[in-house]
Structure 1
Amino acid sequence: MERSRVVGQVFNDSLNAAWRDLFVRLAPDEPFIPAFALPQAIKGGFEARLETHYRDGSKGGNPRAMLSAGNLNTAALTLFFALHLSVKPQLPWWIIDDPVQSMDEVHISQFAALLRTLSKQHGRQVILAVHEKPLFDYLCLELSPAFDGDRLITVELGRAANGESVANTTVREWKQDLAIAA
């Protein structure tokens, strides 16, 4: 009974609208938009089902058949954000492990911009793990501090010569660019 109430309350047009907005920001050229079919009462409760819609609103098909691997990942990631933004969080954190797998460079750039915007607008701290050094370096650049009071803390994990794990931490604080300020 409680599960049915929560499913009916969460999986609604408002969630689909937020999910659509976030997904389209990361995949602006994708003709199919993922969505939840509004829950239909079944024996014993509600069931949330995934589907896709064409941009004109007509029904598509199952997301696994309609979206590429990269856009399936994008759909999952943007659903995570939409769900998180639809409820008041107990902790204002986003903990995300390797969110850009299967994304191309354009999607990664759009993701970094979206992450920066959402985290600042909604007061969230982001804990982001990536597995590739070039991607780590790129995201450090894209997510670097942009205003007074902003900071980026990076932790790079590795192994010492003796095999022990090491963590190199760097705190990057915002600094006014004096060349531009003059």
Structure 2
Amino acid sequence: MAELVTVSAEQPPADRAPSEARCRPAAAPLAPAGASYAAAALSVLLIAAGGVGLRDTAVQAGLVGGEPWLPLAVRVVDGLQPSTIVLAVTIAAGVVGILLTGLAIKPRRATAVAARSDSGGAVYVRLRDVAQAAATAARDVPGVEQVDSTATARKVSLRCVASAPELAEVRHLVARAVRDELQPLAKPPRITVRVRQESRR
């Protein structure tokens, strides 16, 4: 018996996407959370503590020689009285706790910026590539000999060494070249240019 398949007029077939379909925006790339490094360090400490516990268990069972470490540690701190050292350790522990809390709630740093996309999706450019593109554009300016550049999500900074004496003109030309180069970005960053005269020996 033939099998009938009904296709709704309001819903296009699965093998044919509607012409107005748009790409789903992707999440912006972010740097690892600062708390992840602290968590990794604490994990190492916990592993070390577990290793000490396993060693002491092996010593008690007679599998290895030596003295247990945990009872020795307990005897060291047993009978402590309020003192300057205890106060300093307590304050240090509180400060570390505050720093770890700050790392946990600190927003993650952006590692890329969005570029314009006609498809409606999200295209991102890494900040180091933005800085490299800006430096390349600056080197094409006549009179520029050396360029160092850095980029953040909102700002691109360039430090140029020029052989031409007209530093103000070179600064203007570099800023314009970099601005034109970064036009494809969705939000063009603020551009700062510093130019110094090439030292002659």
Q: TM-score range by the shorter chain?
A: under 0.3
Return the structure number with greater strand share. 1
Instruction: State the TM-score, normalized to the length of structure 2.
Output: 0.25
Instruction: State the TM-score, normalized to the length of structure 1.
Output: 0.27
Max Rg structure:
2
